[in-house]
Amino acid sequence: MANVINYISNAAIPVIITVIILYGLKEKKKVFDIFLDGGKEGLEIVIKMFPTLIGIFLAVGALRSSGIIDLIVSVITPITNLLEIPSQIMPLALLRPISGSASMAVAVDIMQNYGVDTLTGLITSTIMGSTETTFYTIAIYTSAVGIKKTRGILIAALAADVAGMVASTVICRILS
């Protein structure tokens, strides 16, 4: 069975490309010219998004190296203790909306230190699956289409992230 799935996954891209080319020929379209136009448009989008991406990566690097995350965690730990939220997941909760790679590194570190089958490990993996890298996603999508006013989008997205994190904690506590 694994060989069949491996074969299908290896053949999927070439089959899709072939179908697109055959469809373009059937419709008498200039497939290569359309491909080149799409490539040009893609490069223009990347050039528009580049400053935003640099800003996000710089901000994440500054947050991680400055120790501000540890300071924030130490300030909110009494509140998380009252709510019975493991303080070990707070660095993940703070970084997840900002950076996928930084939050992945924090999640791996949490699981290595506390185990994958512990409550902390389960909450960590559930948060990783139920939340988004909000700032990155908003920056990419809004800069790609030229949206400047993102306050409402940001508030709604961060509220969804908080809901995902709270739900992760509550559900993992109920099920464990």
Q: What is the pLDDT of residues 31-69, one digit of tens each?
A: 888 889 988 998 888 787 788 778 777 877 787 788 888
Cβ contact 53:139 at 8 Å: yes
In angstroms, the CA 123 to CA 111 distance is 10
Domains of the chain: which residue ranges? 42-175
Residue 114 · residue 121 · CB < 8 Å: yes
pLDDT at residue 124 tops 90: yes
With a cut of 90, say whether residue 121 has pLDDT above it: yes
- What is this structure's pTM? 0.64
- The identity of residue 54, as a single letter, is I
